[in-house]
Every structure is written in structure tokens, then in C-alpha cells.
Amino acid sequence: MDFKPKLDHKAEAPLYRQLFEQIAQQIRSGQLARGSRLPATREMAGLLGLNRTTVSAAYEILETEGLISGQVGRGSFVTGPAEPAGRVDWNRLLERNETPLASPGAGWGRDLISFAVSRPSRELFPLDEFRATCATVLARQDLADILQLGSPLGYEPLRRYLMEEARRQNVAGPGDDLLITNGCQQALDLIGRVLLRPGDTVAVEDPLYTGLKNLLTGMGAQLCGIPVGPDGMDAAQAERVLERERPRFLVVTSNFQNPTGATLPLAGRRALLDAARRFGVPVIENDAYGELRYSGEPLPSLKQLDESGGTVLLRSFSKISFPGLRVGWAVGPKLLIDRLRHSKEAADLHTDQLSQAVLLEFAESGRLEAHRARMLRAGSERLAATLEACAAHLPAGTRWTRPEGGMNLWVRLPEPLDATELLSRAQREGVTYLPGRYFAVSRLDPGALRLSFAGLAPDEIRAGLAILGRTIRAGLEIAVADFEPSPAMV
């Protein structure tokens, strides 16, 4: 390799990214030819005075992008970009798609206290009850029906059960139908597929759940963010957006929004529905967390309040029981559900039936409700521990939301701290979280971060927030030091 990458230690882009981009550019331009050998990570690190993990990170992305290929004991070789003719040029075929922001969750060291993933604690899974539930299902005479090809609408006994529940709760009216999906995520995907054309505007919360942000932008939608405050989506702002933009649809999380934890109050729900009806905009009510209310009074869902037939309600078993079993559902107007069914069939024929049958039995046997009661006790404890530890450990000037349920809380660091910049320090100290930029639609909020508390025991929460508090304090001291004018500037 003849060229020597030039890295800027003061640049905003991390060193591994700079290194990746410079090597990638050399390969794409043909200056580093196919088959050339790259220096081993150790060698390259020495050459550039870098940490070896920095070089490894850059090589890993080069490999993922198909530009180099590592061979054990032989080093890394340039394999891309694909030749322009005579074979498939995957780089060109895939170029229109930008890789979305890395998904939150995986990849951190084992020892970190992670506030980064919005999921229930594995310690709370009622394994014996799950086993008993499966045993009942497996002993059934109709087991073969579960194993046979099913309906795109869902496993009929589960669909009937959910539809009856929805009718009983006045969630489903006479014009409604119900479709089973692989969790709320697939319901959002199917809705996008049937309603969106590229370039359409969708009104969403800002900050927004990353999975929805990636989904909608991947479909070519223009996102129009409506600010979410401590009382959920700003209804007055929403009304202005609906009037001005006439978005294709609006997605709103009525309860314990991810990432802020905020809940839309009754007046806000009514105002939002009123505006949506007035401007003919469908409302997609994403309610994955609604069953996890630890305090305060439950509110009627938008779907219950809406008499105009313009709302679709998305719910799921994932957050309340077992996220590894992918079963959710959508309740909405028959006309829409019928289209979603066609789209579901095109997407994957139907949702896995073993899990549908197991979750139905889990619900019908009363075990789901008993488990929910335990989840509510545990969640309540964890939320209380989080709020108390925030008050005890986070320095003055830090602000945070006070959710009444769900799994997430939104923290704003004191000025001038940046949650992304603080993250590597926090990780070195033993704690991790997701910076606000993962969730930003148009309002950059560099001081914001999400704390997902549901997966951690109260002791871990307290320990994690003590570390975070120290990290923030240390960050503030450095920031202040940086701000002190140097003698030459005085």
C-alpha cells in the first residue's frame, strides 16, 4: 500500500471513520487495486500511531461494505469494488440506499450497565409458566393445524380472541377488522406499504422511535416532526402541521412514548383527533407500551375516542410478555385491514403460528394477566428507582421526564454538554445509553439522551445513574475548562 491515510484528531468524525473513508475512497477510485494486500491491523496502527481497535473498526466496515476480505493468517485483501462488467456490481445496485443509523442494542461490552435497549428484563420472564403454556398447546388435538400453512389475517382462534377483547373494550366498532402482525413494527411497515408513495409526507413525533424513523425514510417518506413535550405530542403544533402539510398519515404514541416516556393527556387526544378528522388525515396509534402503566389513571385510546373511523390502533404482546415471540395486531377500518392483509401475504404469507397459539393460551389461561401484574410491580419499582437516582446523582441543570409507565425516560444534560460526545466517556466508566440524535427528526437536541430502565434491576439502575452522574460532572468540568480563555486570548 503506497498511500498513507491522513487523519485529523480534532475532526468531528471519529478516527476509525476517517480511516475507513480514506481507504474506501482509494479502493473505489481504483488506486488500491483488487487483490492488493492491506497492512495488518497491528502494522497499520503502528504506522499511523493509532490504537489497534481503531484500525480494526475501520477494517470491519470495509469488510461489511464488501471492499476488503480478511483471511486468517494472511491479512486483508482488497476485493471490491466489483468490476464494472462481467459480474454483478452490488455496489452500484445498492448505492441508492443509505445505510440507516446503526440499530441500538448490540455491540457493547458485557460489563456495561446498559440503559440502551427498550425491552423487559429477561429475569422477569416466567419460564415455568411459559413451559406450562407450551405443554398445553403441544398436547392439543389440533396441533397439526398450528403447524400447517395459515391465514394472512392470523391464527383464527387468536384473532377471534383479540377481536372479542377489542369489541369488549370498545376499541373495535362494527366497521373494524383485525390483522395479526409480527409485532407493531410490521404493522407500521404494512401501513407504509399500502398508504405511502415516495415523497409523501408523514407527520411523526420528534423525537421519534428509531425503528419507525428508519422504516419511513427507507420508504422514501418525508418526515414532518411534531415536538413531543412532557405532555406528549404538541396538539396545537400538530394541527398546524396537518393543515399546512396534509400529510399522508400521522403516527402517534399515545402512552409512554419511546423515547421520551411522555403520555398524551385526554384533552390532547381529543384535539388531535379533531384536527385529524378535520383535515382527513388517518391517525396511526402506536400503543406498544399502553399496558405498562405503573401509576395514574389509564386514558381511553385515540381509537376508543374516535367515532369517525379514521384511526388504526397497533398493539403487541412483545413488551408485556416475550419480545422474542413476534406477535402484534392492528385494529382499524375493514377497508384498510383488507389491504393490509394482501400486503401481509406478499410480505411473508402469515405470522408464525406456534407463537400465536402459545400467546393465545398464555392469555386465555390468565397467565398473561398474572404476569402483567408482576411486570407492573417490577416496572413501578424500576421507574421509582430511576427517578430517585436521577434526583440523587444527576447534577443541577440536568432535566428529565417523569413517565407513569413504559420503559423509557428522556434526559437533557446541562449546557453545553453533548450526549453523543459524553457517550464514550460514559462507556469507559461502565454505563451506556442512546444519545438523542438517534431519535431526532428535525430538532437536533444534542444534550438529550434516552434511559431505558425496564431491563435493569433497581440496584443496577442506582449504580448506573451514580456513574452517569459522575460522568456528567466530569464532562462539565472539562467543558468549563475549555471555556476559560487562554492567557494569549485575554
Residues numbered 312-341 forming contacts with a second copy, rule: CB under 8 A: 318, 322-327, 333-336, 338-339
**Cβ proximity of 394 and 400 under 8 Å:** yes
Listed ranges 123-131, 297-305, 406-414, 479-487: which one lies at the site for a second copy (CB under 8 A): 123-131
How far apart (Å, rounded) are the C-alpha atoms in residues 123 and 356? Answer: 23
Write down the least CB distance from residue 81 to a second copy, Å. 10
Identity of the residue, 161 or 279, whose beta carbon is nearer to a second copy in the bound complex:
279
Identity of the residue, 31 or 308, whose beta carbon is nearer to a second copy in the bound complex:
308
Identity of the residue, 335 or 373, whose beta carbon is nearer to a second copy in the bound complex:
335
Among 75, 309, 430, 458, interactor with a second copy by CB under 8 A: 309
Identity of the residue, 183 or 475, whose beta carbon is nearer to a second copy in the bound complex:
183
Among 71, 199, 483, 490, interactor with a second copy by CB under 8 A: 71
Write down the least CB distance from residue 69 to a second copy, Å. 6
Identity of the residue, 147 or 373, whose beta carbon is nearer to a second copy in the bound complex:
147
Q: Decide: is 195 part of the binding site for a second copy (CB under 8 A).
A: yes
User: Binding to a second copy (CB under 8 A): which residues in 78-117?
Assistant: 79-80, 82, 85-91, 93-94, 96-97, 99-100, 103, 105-106, 117
The backbone torsions φ and ψ at residue 246, rounded to the nearest 5 degrees and listed phi first, read: 40, 60
Write down the least CB distance from residue 456 to a second copy, Å. 14
How far apart (Å, rounded) are the C-alpha atoms in residues 363 and 361? Answer: 5
Among 13, 47, 138, 392, interactor with a second copy by CB under 8 A: 138
How far apart (Å, rounded) are the C-alpha atoms in residues 241 and 201? Answer: 10
Closest CA to 204 of 231, 169, 234, 177: 234
Among 150, 261, 435, 469, interactor with a second copy by CB under 8 A: 150
Write down the least CB distance from residue 217 to a second copy, Å. 9
Write down the least CB distance from residue 183 to a second copy, Å. 6
Q: With H, G, I as helix, E, B as strand and everything else as coil, classify residue 485.
A: coil
Write down the least CB distance from residue 147 to a second copy, Å. 4
How far apart (Å, rounded) are the C-alpha atoms in residues 15 and 12? Answer: 9
User: Binding to a second copy (CB under 8 A): which residues in 331-390?
Assistant: 333-336, 338-339, 342-343, 345-355, 358
Number of residues that bind a second copy (CB under 8 A): 101
Identity of the residue, 334 or 428, whose beta carbon is nearer to a second copy in the bound complex:
334
DSSP state of 281: -
For the record, the C-alpha cell of 119 comes out as 425491552
Among 6, 109, 127, 297, interactor with a second copy by CB under 8 A: 127
Write down the least CB distance from residue 82 to a second copy, Å. 8
User: Binding to a second copy (CB under 8 A): which residues in 429-468?
Assistant: none
Identity of the residue, 14 or 218, whose beta carbon is nearer to a second copy in the bound complex:
218
Closest CA to 332 of 156, 173, 164: 173
Dihedral in degrees, nearest 10, Cα atoms 207, 210, 215, 220? 50
Among 125, 201, 376, 437, interactor with a second copy by CB under 8 A: 125
- Edge-to-edge strand order for the sheet containing 283-286? 176-181, 328-333, 311-316, 283-286, 249-252, 201-206, 222-229, 232-233
**Cβ proximity of 164 and 170 under 8 Å:** no
DSSP state of 433: -
Identity of the residue, 298 or 324, whose beta carbon is nearer to a second copy in the bound complex:
324
Provide the residue type at 403 as one letter.
P
User: Binding to a second copy (CB under 8 A): which residues in 256-285?
Assistant: 276-278, 280-282
Q: Give residue 128's Cα distance to chain centre.
A: 29
Burial (CB count <10 Å: 0-12, 13-18, 19+), residue 341: buried
Neighbours of 155 (CB within 10 A): 24
Listed ranges 9-17, 128-136, 362-370, 414-422: which one lies at the site for a second copy (CB under 8 A): 128-136
Among 33, 144, 396, 490, interactor with a second copy by CB under 8 A: 144
Identity of the residue, 94 or 392, whose beta carbon is nearer to a second copy in the bound complex:
94
Among 11, 14, 46, 131, interactor with a second copy by CB under 8 A: 131
Counting other chains too, the contacts that 79-84 makes at CB distance below 8 Å and 24 or more residues apart are: 79/34, 80/27, 80/34, 81/27, 81/28, 83/34
Identity of the residue, 334 or 374, whose beta carbon is nearer to a second copy in the bound complex:
334
Write down the least CB distance from residue 263 to a second copy, Å. 23
Provide the residue type at 355 as one letter.
S
DSSP state of 85: S
Closest CA to 133 of 350, 354, 327: 354
How far apart (Å, rounded) are the C-alpha atoms in residues 158 and 317? Answer: 12
